[in-house]
Structure 1
Amino acid sequence: MTEEMNLDAMNGYKEGDRVTATVTKIEDKSVMVEISGAPFDGVIPISELSSLHIEKASDAVEVGDKLELIITKVEDENYVLSKRKVDAEDAWDSLEEKFRNEETIETEVKDVVKGGLVVDLGVRGFIPASLVEDHFVESFDDYKGRTMEFKIVEMDKEKNRLILSHRAVLQQQKATKKDEILDELKEGQVLDGTVQRIASFGAFVDIGGVDGLVHISQISHEHIDKVSDAVKEGDRVKVKVLSVDRDAERISLSIKETLPGPWDGIEQRATIGSTLEGTVKRLVSYGAFVEVFPGVEGLVHISRISHQHIGTPHEVLEEGQQVAVKVVDVNADEKRLSLSIKDLLEKEEEESFDGYEMKEESGFSISDVIGDQLKKFTE
C-alpha cells in the first residue's frame, strides 16, 4: 500500500485530483479510461457516470470520448474515478448564479417518473407534476425527450436537491405579455376572443394572452337569465373593449356592442300598417308595452287597446299574454314604436255589436224588426 501511495505521489495523482482521461473500453456496468502520464488506467463505475440512473454505460459515453474526472480512490494499481462529481461541482456554481439572477434554463427532459419529470443539469433536477404546466395534464408520457425551459424554484447543494418549474416560466411569459397587451388596449377596440370561463355574473374572454370580463348585461341585446344560455367555453366571439384599468389589470368587454342592435332596420321589419305578433311585457297606467322582436318593445296606448272604455290596461290584458298588434308609427332614431290592438279588433267588434247598437238607438233589435215584417207578410 505504501508503494502504491509513493507511486501515486510520484506521478502527482491522488484522491480528489481532477484529471482528463480518454475512454478506451465500455462494459455494461463500468468504463475503462486512460489517463495521460499515469502509470495505470482507471475505471468509472456506472453509478459515477451520471447524476441520473442509467441502465448501460454505453448510454452515457462512447469509446474515444475525453472526460473530465475526479479520482475518488487509488487501489491495486487502478484509479477509481467519477464523472458525476465533476459535473456536479461545475453545475452547482452555475446553477447558484442562475438562481440568484432568476434566469431560466433550457434543457431536455431525460425521464418521466412517478410524480413528475427529471432533467440532467450536471445534478439531477426534478420537476414536480404540479410545476410542469399551468393547466392539468393527465399523462406526461410524451414529455420524455422534449426540450423545455425551466426556472429554479428551490436548491440545496448539501442535500443535492434541485427543484425546477416550467409553470413559473409560463406564468412569467403570460405576465409579460399581459403587460404588453394592457399597454396597447384602447377603449372602443373590437377584437377576436375565446370564451375561457363561465361565471354566474358573466364570461371571461381571452383576447390574446389576457382575460377580460363580459358582464352578463353585455352578452346579448336580449335578456338572459344564465350566461351559459348564450355562450359556452371555447366559443370564438367578437368583443368590444369598454374600459381598461391598468393598475388593477381589469378589462371590461362587450359582446352585445359588436352585434346588430335590435332596432337596426326596424322600419323595414315593422312597416306602418303591418300586423305583428308580440308578448305583453309590462302594463302601466297609460298602456301596455309589447315586445314584437327580441329587444324591441312598442307601446299600445290605453286608448288603442279596446273599443270599449277601460279604466286600466289590467282589465283586458295581462303580462306574458300573446297578442296581435298593428304598427301605427315607427321612429328608429328615438327607438319608439306605436302599436294598436283595437285597430285589429274593429271589424270583428262591428260585426259582433251591430245588432246590439241598433237596439240601443231605436229600442228594437233586428229580430224584433224582422219578426214584425214576417208577421205582416204572413197575414
Structure 2
Amino acid sequence: MPEEKNTTKTKDELGKLLSKDEQLVKIPSVGDLITGRVLSVSKNEVRLDIEGMTTGIVRSAELFNDLEEYKNMKEGDEAEATILELDNENGEMELSFRAAGEIKTWETLQKAVKEKKIVKGVVKEANKGGLVVKILSVDAFLPVSQLSGEHYPKVHGGDRGKILEKLKRLINQEISVKIMSISKQDENIIVSEKEAAYEMQNEVIAQFKLGEVVEGIITAITDFGAFVKIDKKIIGDEKKEEAVNPAEGLIHISEIAWQKIENLKHHLKEGQRIKAKIINVDGVKIFLSIKQLSINPWVEAKDKYSIGQTAIGEIVKVNPYGLIIKLDEDLQGLAHISQLSEKNAANLREIAKVGDKKEFIILSMDIENHRIGLSLKEDALAEAKQKEEEKETKKGKKKEAEKEAKEDEKKE
C-alpha cells in the first residue's frame, strides 16, 4: 500500500510540473511574431531554428531587404519573423520577414519622429505637387514647398511644365529628410527636405563669415536673383583658394551690378563660375554680392559729373516714362519724357532709339540713391532752376504763414 501512495504522489507532482510548463510555454499561432536562429541563407530562402521545436522557412516572396538586419543576415544571427502557417507541405513552419519587417519599419519611423532624427530616402516619382520618396519600405510624400534650396525647382516665370521637368531629374536620387507627420493607420507620411537641410546647414554655415570672398557655380537664375553653389573661399591678400563643404548662396538682382539690371540672363548664365562677397548671413541663408567686389562708381560720380554739365550718353532702353541712358560702363541716368523735346512727342521712338548716342544736360544728381536726371532740352537747366526757386518760395511762404499763425495764437 505505501508503494501505491508514493506512485500517486509522484503522478500529482508530475501533473503540477506539466501544468506549470504549459503556462510558461506559449503555443505559437498564425500571425504571431516569433524569434529564431538562422540556420542557412540563400538567394531564395532563409531557414530558422525555432527554439529547438521546429524549423521555419522564409521563401523569396517573403524576404525583406529594406531593413539592414534582414539585408545582411548570416548563419547564427537571431531574426524575427511572422508566422504564416504552423505546418507547411514539408512539415516546416512557414514564415515571413516582410510582414515582420513592415512592423519594424513603422516602429523605426515613429521612433525617428519622436527623436527628431534625419532619415534617408530615394525619390521614386515626381508630380506637380512634389515627390514620392521611399523610406525603408514605405512611401512618403515630399511637397515642393518642403524641398531644400538645392533641389527647389527655380524656374524663370514659374512655368509648371519646366518645374515638373526639374523635379523628374531627382528620380532615383537619395535625399535626407525629416518626418513632419506620420499615420500608420492611413499609411500617410509627410516629409521635409528643407527642415533636414536647415539642421545640417547650421554646421556648413559656420564655415563662413561676413565680408569673406567666395567662389561657386550659378545653379539657377530667377526673376529676383541668382542661386550659387559655393565650393571655395578666397583667403587673404594672397587670394589663396580653400575648398569648403558646399553651401547655397543667393545674389539678389540688385547686387549683380551697380547699374540697374532689367534681365539677369543678359549678365549671368547657369553653370557660370563666379566670385562674390558675403554681405549677410541670416540663419542658414547666405546673401552674396558681385558688385561689392568692384569700386562703387557712384562714389566717383560726384567728382566726374556736375549739374549743368553736358555728357554724351547711349540710350539703352526706351520706357513709356522716358529713356535710360548709359553714361559710362557702370553709371546710368534717366531722361524723363518731359525732358526730351520742346513739343509733346506722341511716340518716344520718334525722338530716340536704343543704341543712339546723344548729348544730354545733367539736371540733377542724387548720389545716395544712385540717380542722375538728364535732359535733351536746351533750356532744361534754366527750367529746373526756376522750378527749384518756385519750390523754395512756396516753402518760405508756408513757414511765414505758420509763424504768423503761432503769433496770433499767443496774442489771443
Structure-2-length-normalised TM-score: 0.45
Q: Which has the larger radius of gyration?
A: 1
TM-score, normalised relative to structure 1: 0.48
